[in-house]
Copies of this chain bind each other. A is one copy, B any other.
Amino acid sequence: MEKDSFIANILQYISLTPEEEQYILAHVTVRKFARGAYINREGEVNRYTNFITKGSARAYFIDPNGHEHVVQLGIRNWWISDYTSFITQKPGLLYCEALEPTETCSISYENLQLLYEKVPALERFFRLIIQKAYASFHNRILHSLSMDAEERYRRFRESYPEMDMQLSQKHIASYLGMSAEFLSKIKKRLMIKEKNQGKPV
């Protein structure tokens, strides 16, 4: 069921006894969201950290001019939350929204504290997860400083082909820091380039 892929994901990083697996499963909540539903809102404390088992989601914020900016995208087997709000248990800056009918395996802040006590290996797991998130932000900064829009999209498509297929161009464009119209033009450009691949000059 839904929780299988969740446990499988954890086992990629750490080992667990069957008892530990059971204990974890008992402290995980399966949550379901309709398309467009909020997983959490700006100004709220983010109570859960959410592992997506089905569907997709985005985390975004709204700037003072009212424009939305996508900070994070997630599909099956990705985590989504306003992590800063979750770890500090203070009101967050981000909205998280389900982009399709979506299911998550979610851990509440309180349960996570319990889990840390009973299954210390999870400390390591979540440290690794946050280190990955840190490295991913780091990369994103490097790329936004050094690559133009076309390179950023090409790299995104190569790194996350499933996301490129599953998510709407609009959200991908926002995530990559460009307008939806401009991404459309880039895709066209790339298709023409690829069609000419290998043809003689």
Interface residues on A, range: 20 to 34
Chain A contact residues: helix, strand, loop or mixed: helix
A131 contact set on B, CB distance < 8 A:
84, 87-88, 130
Within 8 A of B (CB), among A92-150: 93, 127, 130-131, 133-135, 137-138, 140-142, 144-147
Contact in complex: A145, B69 (CB < 8 Å): yes
With contacts A130-B134, A134-B84, A134-B133 known, is A142 near B93, CB below 8 A?
A: yes
Distance in Å from the Cβ of A79 to the closest Cβ of chain B?
Answer: 14
Contact in complex: A142, B87 (CB < 8 Å): no
A63 contact set on B, CB distance < 8 A:
145-147
Distance in Å from the Cβ of A45 to the closest Cβ of chain B?
Answer: 15
Q: Does residue A67 face the partner (Cβ distance < 8 Å to B)?
A: yes
Name the CB-closest residue of B to A175: B145
Residue interface mask A159-172, B partner, CB < 8 A = 1: 00000000000000
Q: Does residue A61 face the partner (Cβ distance < 8 Å to B)?
A: yes
Distance in Å from the Cβ of A83 to the closest Cβ of chain B?
Answer: 8
Contact in complex: A144, B144 (CB < 8 Å): yes
The listed residue (B69, B137, B146) touching A138 by CB distance below 8 A is B137
A177 contact set on B, CB distance < 8 A:
144-145
Q: Does residue A71 face the partner (Cβ distance < 8 Å to B)?
A: yes
